[in-house]
Amino acid sequence: MSENLTIDDTATRWSTSNRARMPLLVLLHGYGADEHDLFGLVPYLPEGIAVASVAAPLAPPWPMPGRSWYAIEGLDGRSPEAVTAAAEAFLRWLDVAAVDAPSVALLGFSQGAAVSLQALRLAPERFGAVAALSGYVASGELPHDEALAELRPPVFWGRGTHDDVIPPELVDHTAQWLPGHSDLSGRVYTGLTHSISEEELTDVHRFLTKWIDGIAKS
C-alpha cells in the first residue's frame, strides 16, 4: 500500500532556495488542507532554518477540498496501517529532500502530527525534534519503538481543552505512550479548539529554538 503513496515534490513550498547544509523543518498539514496551510506559520518560526511544507498524497472524498494523509471515515478510518503507509511515503520524500540537512525536525498538525510521530517511530535516528499539534500517536507496536524509548528525542505535544476532533481514547493513548518514548514537553491550552493559537506558537518557537541550539553544540 505505502509504495503506491507518493508525495508530489513539485507541490512542496520552501521558505528559501538557498538551503544547503541548513537545519530542515518540515510542516505536515491536517485533513482537508494542503501545502499552503501551515506555510503561514513561517514568520512565527525561528530564523536560520529551511522550512518545507509538503502536500499530503491523497485527495479526501468529494466535496472535501485539499489533501489528506489517510482516511478518517469508514471502516478503515484512522487505521494504524494507513498512518504507517503515509509515514513511509513521507520518509521516501525525505530521502531526497534532506540530503544536506544537518538535522531534521517535524511540525505536524492533526493528521500531520500523527504522521510526524509515526515517522519518528519508523526512523527514530532521523529526527532531531517533533512538534505534534492537535494530534496523536497511532495505536499498535512498531519494530523501532524500543530504540525510540532509548533515544528519547524531544517531542512537543500541544492540544486544546475544547478539541472535539481527536477521539478521547487516542488522546489518552498518546498521554500514556509519549512519556516513555520521548523527552516530552507540551501544554494543554484552555479553551483552544482544534486549531493553533499564538500562545502555542510561542511555545513551539521556544521548543524549536532548543533544537537549533542543540545542533550548534553537537
Name the residues annotated as catalytic: 110, 163, 194
The terminus-to-terminus CA distance of the chain in angstroms comes to: 38
Nearest in space to 44 (alpha carbons), one of 176, 191, 204, 186: 204
What is the distance between the alpha carbons of residues 101 and 164, in angstroms, rounded to a whole number?
A: 37
What is the distance between the alpha carbons of residues 57 and 63, in angstroms, rounded to a whole number?
A: 17
Nearest in space to 134 (alpha carbons), one of 205, 67, 83, 196: 196
User: Can you say whether residue 138 is alpha, beta or left, with left for phi > 0 and alpha for psi between -120 and 50 degrees?
Assistant: beta
